[in-house]
Homo-oligomer: A and B are copies of this chain.
Amino acid sequence: MTTTPATERPPVLDRGVIPPLCTPLTPDGEVDDASLRRLVDFLVDAGVSGLFVTGSTGEVAYLTDRQRLHTLRTVVDAAAGRVPVAAGIVDTATRRVADHARAARDGGADALVATAPFYVPTHPAEIRAHFRALRSATELPLLAYDIPSFTHTKLPPGLVAELADEGAIDGLKDSSGDIDALRSVLEAVTAPRFRVFTGSETIADVGLRLGAHGIVPGLGNVDPHGYVRLQAAAEAGDWAAAEREQARLRALFGLIKAGDPARMGPYSSAIGAFKEGLRLRGAIAHATTSTPMVPLDGAERAAVRDHLAAAGLIEKGTA
C-alpha cells in the first residue's frame, strides 16, 4: 500500500462552497442538535464542498466554549466524512485562540479559521506574531479570517502573502468586501497550495473571477443550491451564468434587511433572517437567536418569507 504525500494531495479546503453554518438553537438558547444535523444534511445534499462551523454567521461570539465544541462535534458526526469541517476559533488573542485550536482539533475539525486579535487594537507586527504562534499550536490547516467590520483591523495583503509564503497560514477567508485587496493577495502569494475564499454573498462571482477558489456565504445556509450553481458555472468558465445566479442571490440577500434598524442592529436582522429562512425551508425547527440579539417580529418574518417566495425557494403564502 502506498500513500500520497500531503503536498501532492489537494488541500483539505480546496475549492467550492463552504457555508458558514448557522447554529440552530432551542427556544431556551441551547444548541438544537436535531436541527443542526438536519442542516448538515440539507447543505451536504445541496452539494457544498465543506462546512464551516462557529464562524461569525454561526453566532460564535455568543456561544460558550462548551456550546462551540458541542456544535463542532455534532457537525463532524453528522457530516460523517462526506465533506471536511472547518471550525472558527474566534477569540481576542493568541493564547485564547490556541486553546480553541486544541479543542477544535480534539473535536474533530479538519481545518481552523482564525481572525486577527481584536478588542485591543493591534499592530501588523502583532498580527504576524499571532498567526506564527497559532501555527506552532496546531498541525491543522489554518485559514486567516479577514473581517475588519468585526475586528476593526484589515489584514494587509502584503502580510497575508508573507504568512502564506512562509507556511504560517494555508488560506484566507476574505470577508472584507475589499476587492482590490483580495486581488493583491491573489497576485502576491506564491505558495501553490494556498487557498482563498471570499466571504461575500453579493460579489462572490467577482471573487471567483479574480482567482478565489471558493465561497463562504452566510446566505448559503438558506440557498446552498444557488451558490453551488454559481461556483459550478464559474469553474466551467460560464461567467454569464455565474452572473445570472449571482443576480438572483443578490435579490434574495435583501432579506437581511428584514429587521427594523430602530429596534435592532444589522447582525440581529441578518442572522434572524437566515434562521427564519432555514425554518421556512424546513431545515431547522426554531429561528431563535442568542441573547442579547433582538428577534424578528411577525412583520419582519413575513418579509423574509416574501424574499424566499420571490426567489422560488418556498411556495408563496407558506408560513
Q: Residues of A with Cβ closer than 8 Å to B?
A: 29, 56, 61-65, 67, 90-96, 99, 117-123, 125-130, 132-133, 149-152, 177-180, 183, 187, 200, 202-203, 206, 209-210, 239, 247, 250, 263-268, 290-294
Does A122 lie within 8 Å of B290, measured CB to CB? no
Does A292 lie within 8 Å of B183, measured CB to CB? no
Does B94 lie within 8 Å of A150, measured CB to CB? no
- What is the oligomeric copy number? 4
| Bound Cα distance from A56 to B118, whole angstroms | 12
Residue of A123, A200, A290, A292 most packed against chain B (CB within 10 A): A292
| Bound Cα distance from A247 to B247, whole angstroms | 27
| Bound Cα distance from A99 to B66, whole angstroms | 10
| Bound Cα distance from A294 to B132, whole angstroms | 13
Across-interface contacts of A151 in B (CB, < 8 A): 119
Across-interface contacts of A187 in B (CB, < 8 A): 247, 250
Across-interface contacts of A178 in B (CB, < 8 A): 177
Residue of B nearest to A63 (CB): B95
| Bound Cα distance from A75 to B39, whole angstroms | 46
Residue of B nearest to A150 (CB): B119
Q: Which of B96, B202, B268 contacts A123 (CB 8 A)?
A: B268
Across-interface contacts of A127 in B (CB, < 8 A): 292
Does B292 lie within 8 Å of A99, measured CB to CB? no
Across-interface contacts of A267 in B (CB, < 8 A): 120-122
Across-interface contacts of A202 in B (CB, < 8 A): 180, 183
Q: From known contacts A119-B90, A179-B206, A291-B95, infer whether A263 and B125 are also in contact, taking CB-CB under 8 Å.
A: yes
Residue of B nearest to A151 (CB): B119
Residue of B nearest to A124 (CB): B265
Query: Sorted from nearest, which 3 A-B pairs have the closest CB atoms?
Result: A129-B292, A123-B265, A61-B92
| Bound Cα distance from A178 to B290, whole angstroms | 31
Residue of A63, A119, A183 most packed against chain B (CB within 10 A): A119
| Bound Cα distance from A68 to B125, whole angstroms | 25
> Could you list 15 further interchain pairs (A-B, Cβ under 8 angstroms) beyond the known A121-B150, A121-B265, A132-B292?
A29-B95, A61-B117, A62-B94, A64-B99, A95-B290, A95-B291, A119-B119, A120-B150, A123-B263, A123-B265, A123-B268, A129-B292, A133-B292, A177-B180, A187-B247
Across-interface contacts of A268 in B (CB, < 8 A): 123, 126
Q: From known contacts A61-B119, A130-B292, A292-B93, infer whether A203 and B180 are also in contact, taking CB-CB under 8 Å.
A: yes
Does B179 lie within 8 Å of A93, measured CB to CB? no
Does B265 lie within 8 Å of A122, measured CB to CB? yes
Residue of A133, A151, A200, A291 most packed against chain B (CB within 10 A): A291
Across-interface contacts of A266 in B (CB, < 8 A): 121
Q: From known contacts A64-B95, A121-B150, infer whether A200 and B180 are also in contact, taking CB-CB under 8 Å.
A: yes
Q: Which of B29, B93, B177, B247 contacts A290 (CB 8 A)?
A: B93
| Bound Cα distance from A149 to B122, whole angstroms | 12
Across-interface contacts of A117 in B (CB, < 8 A): 61, 292
Does A264 lie within 8 Å of B126, measured CB to CB? yes
